[in-house]
Amino acid sequence: MQVDRRTLVSAGLLVWYVAVSVWLAQAPADPQFWLIASILPALFVVVLIATYRHLPMSPASYGLITAFLTLHTIGVHYTYAEVPVGLWMDQVLHLGRNHFDRIVHFSFGFLLAYPMEELFRLSASVQGWVVYYLPVMTVLGLSGLWEIIESWVASAVHPELGVTYLGSQGDIWDAQKDMAAALYGALLCVSILLVVRALRGARSELQTEIAE
Amino acid sequence: MNAGVIERHDAESGNRRILVGLLLAYSVFWVWLAIDPLNRRDWLLENLLVLTLIPLLLLTYRRFEFSLTSYGLIGLFLILHAFGAHYTYAEVPFGFWLRDLGGLSRNPFDRIAHFAYGVLLVYPIRELLMRQTGLRGWWAYALPVCIVLAQSGFFEVLEAIVAMIVSPELGNIYLGTQGDEWDAQHDMAAALAGSILTMCIVFASSMLSKSKANSFPR
């Protein structure tokens, strides 16, 4: 059986993710939160494996997805408000709160907009400006869905804590800021994509000119 | 062949007449509610949406003409919104009546408007996507719902910015959280539920008349 590069990279990423997950599954700071917050990523990975054959994505996409899931796994292990890197940033830059969760929201947009773009381009055969518009809207839509689910979980698990549960860190605008962070991330990713493609297009035009 | 062209031309000018009628009716209604709103500044803020959306629809009419159904749905939503802007959302009389009727703790008119946003606008969005990009199949159901949710989230972000920066006091009226800490999430969930409802109806009707309903003219 021949093993191509894509399969190798994907398998490597999966091994990395499983290893990190198993390692960080030991003694999480809040076992209940760890369990709740691990359900969605686990399902997501299962879906990715199940669709690997008939909806293959590029190694770059799988890499970006793995990077995001790794960040999430770290956040879930410590609970987002207590991640050491975030605490350290708070001390050094005097931010007033642990910004690790905001960073992960931003990464959600920044890292996952490209896989979405690829998905729409390849499987829904979307073309033109919509290729850039849809990933941004999907990121924002899923962020909104995430905030809704968070609110349900918070109401179900700790109704007496209200918004203070699930890492709002006492900020009434937490949900809005999280969604905005994801939006900025997606916009940045899409902008980079546009610039890279414009440059690549210009270069290939130049090359054909030289060749002529 | 000639008759076909004339027929099509007639249908087009008929459509146009209905659209002009819709626009006129809405303008009269809008002006009536613009005369003496409860809070002029909130009214202005709310109407930024209308003042962008309608010119946008007019300017893009030649390049992209929605179906009459879509224009009608957009019109319905704008009528609801005009009421909300006139009375400020938290104080619409119809909402108070509903509150007393249902024994609710708050005026539900804004929640209804968010729900209506999903119900009414997901269809035009779907039409735009399908005709512009040739989106088909289940993507053509999932993505419009996603866009409604995204716009809803974007709106909540805008609201937050207005409330934080422009004027905390006006922000509270504009926001109409009415003391609910989960207001943003509830609003988004209402829009999500509304858009899913409409997509189910569209799906059901396309199942019933298999060939017709799923195809917009491109």
CA-to-CA distance for B115 and B119, rounded, in angstroms?
6
Per cent of chain B over pLDDT 90 is 33
Buried b (16+ CB within 10 A) or exposed e, A180-204: bbbbebbbebbeebeeeeeeeeeee
B209 or A102, greater pLDDT: A102
Which residue of B lies nearest to A172 if distances are taken between CA atoms? B181
ipTM of the modeled complex? 0.82
Smallest CA–CA separation between A74 and chain B, in Å? 26
Mean pLDDT on B104-125: 91
Confidence grade of residue A170 (pLDDT, cut at 50, 70, 90): low
Smallest CA–CA separation between B111 and chain A, in Å? 15
Q: What is the pLDDT of residue B218?
A: 46
State pLDDT tens for residues B137-152.
888 999 999 999 999 9
CA-to-CA distance for B163 and B179, rounded, in angstroms?
14
Tell me which chain B residues have a C-beta less than 8 angstroms from the C-beta of A145: 149, 188, 192
Mean pLDDT on A162-188: 79
Torsion of CA B159, B162, B167, B170, to 10 degrees: -30
A61 or B37, greater pLDDT: A61
CB B171 within 8 A of CB B156: no
Mean pLDDT on B189-211: 90
Mean pLDDT on A153-169: 66
**pLDDT score of B200 more than 80:** yes
Interchain proximity A144–B135, CB inside 8 Å: no
Closest CA relative to residue A79, chosen from A18, A23, A20, A34: A34
Per-domain boundaries in chain B? 2-208
Smallest CA–CA separation between A185 and chain B, in Å? 14
A161 or B104, greater pLDDT: B104
Tell me which chain A residues have a C-beta less than 8 angstroms from the C-beta of B139: 120, 123-124
**Residue A121 vs residues A50, A193, B218: alpha-carbon distances, Å:** 20, 13, 20
Q: What is the DSSP letter of B88?
A: -
Write the residue in B154, B163, B182 that is nearest to A140 by C-beta. B154
Per cent of chain B over pLDDT 70 is 84
Averaged confidence pLDDT in chain B: 84
Mean pLDDT on A18-31: 87
Q: What is the pLDDT of residue B160?
A: 83
Best B122, B135, B148, B154 member to test A by mutation, with max A CBs in 10 Å, is B154
Smallest CA–CA separation between B156 and chain A, in Å? 6
Long-range contacts formed by B189-193: CB under 8 A, 24+ apart: B189/A148, B190/B111, B190/B112, B190/B114, B190/B115, B190/B118, B191/B114, B191/B115, B191/B117, B191/B118, B191/B148, B191/B149, B191/B151, B191/B152, B192/A144, B192/A145, B192/A148, B192/B118, B192/B145, B192/B148, B192/B149, B192/B152, B193/B115, B193/B118
CA-to-CA distance for A158 and A166, rounded, in angstroms?
10
CB B81 within 8 A of CB B113: yes
Q: What is the pLDDT of residue A164?
A: 54
Interchain proximity B185–A150, CB inside 8 Å: yes
Confidence grade of residue A143 (pLDDT, cut at 50, 70, 90): very high
Write the residue in A137, A162, A176 that is nearest to B146 by C-beta. A137
Interchain proximity B150–A144, CB inside 8 Å: yes
- Roughly how many angstroms between the first and final C-alpha of chain B, as a whole number? 21
Q: What is the pLDDT of residue B171?
A: 59
Residue position matching structure tokens 């509610």: B33
Write the residue in A140, A155, A177 that is nearest to B150 by C-beta. A140
Size of interface A-B (CB pairs under 8 A): 88
Confidence grade of residue B172 (pLDDT, cut at 50, 70, 90): low
**pLDDT score of A64 more than 70:** yes
Q: What is the pLDDT of residue B170?
A: 61
Mean pLDDT on A22-35: 85
State pLDDT tens for residues A91-121.
888 777 888 889 999 999 999 999 999 998 8
Best B114, B141, B146, B166 member to test A by mutation, with max A CBs in 10 Å, is B146
- Roughly how many angstroms between the first and final C-alpha of chain A, as a whole number? 44
A34 or B10, greater pLDDT: A34
Confidence grade of residue A84 (pLDDT, cut at 50, 70, 90): confident
Q: What is the pLDDT of residue B213?
A: 47
Within a 10 A sphere around the Cβ of B72, how many other Cβ atoms? 17
Mean pLDDT on A46-69: 91
A139 or A165, greater pLDDT: A139
Per cent of chain A over pLDDT 70 is 92
Tell me which chain A residues have a C-beta less than 8 angstroms from the C-beta of B163: 173
Return the top range by mean pLDDT from A152-166, B38-52, B77-91, B119-133.
Answer: B119-133
Confidence grade of residue A142 (pLDDT, cut at 50, 70, 90): very high
